[in-house]
Amino acid sequence: MRLTTLGDLVLDVIVLLERPLVPGDDQTAVTRTCAGGQAANVAAWARELGAETRLVARRGDDTAGDLVAHDLGARGVELAGRATGRTGVVVSLATGGDRTMASDRGVAGDLRADELDPAWFDCDVLHVSGYALLFEPAAGAAAAAVQEARERSARISVDLSTWSRADAVFAARVRELEPDIVFATERERDAVGDVRATLVVKRGPAGIVVDGTSYPAVPVDVVDSTGAGDALAAGFLIGGPELGLAAAARCCARVGAMP
């Protein structure tokens, strides 16, 4: 299977806390840095599960950009897209399986349609991160990528990614892509409304619901839930609900969003 993802490539800074932060005080933590971003995570997990993968994304031409490009390449993911400007950084604070994120997307949203090479979208599935649909020019690039992928008979999947910023413009952009598969939490689904697609509703420890059919989560001692939804999407696109849930459990059992 050949999977192309489009969206964000950032530097993930994961802070695993023993206890919640206290303002003005110090807490012990384990910290890890690696390549991240929803589209990058899906590509890395899909590669881990046996697919040929490519990520289309803008990254910076700074030190962080060099780090994430090297990390992603070491995982076997082909990276396509310009390197210019400032690489985004996402800080994820994880405590007891819960996570809180502070996101700086850098140049991720600056991807333009005229930068795309049609050959990048010669794939079986194109997976679009919802973050790419929040702002122009990346939303236009996503639409152009979908057109190229459809001309090559690829399926299109979208992860809604956000509910707090899912306004009418965002919802319209999702529908205009006419995706075959949509991944969403319950809040994201409710914020965007009806989309004509196979709907995969992510419910955390309660598992997933696919077009009304429930699938239970794989039991796991959660260390860090960062990236579990991305692992789920990768597994689902390659092998269906069971592989998706197994990948999500593997992700939760370790620190970090990448395999």
pLDDT for 58 equals 94
Name the residue with tokens 């839930």: 225
The rounded distance, in Å, linking the Cα atoms of 163 and 50 is 31
| Domain residue ranges of the chain, discontinuous segments joined by + | 2-252
pLDDT for 35 equals 93
What is the second-level CATH architecture of the domain 2-252?
3-Layer(aba) Sandwich (3.40)
pLDDT for 7 equals 96
The rounded distance, in Å, linking the Cα atoms of 116 and 14 is 31
Query: Of 129, 93, 126, 123, whose CA–CA distance to 108 is shortest?
Result: 129
pLDDT for 96 equals 65
Burial of 255 (0-12, 13-18, 19+ CB in 10 A): middle
pLDDT for 98 equals 66
pLDDT for 94 equals 76
Low-confidence residues of the chain, pLDDT below 50? none
Record the pTM: 0.92
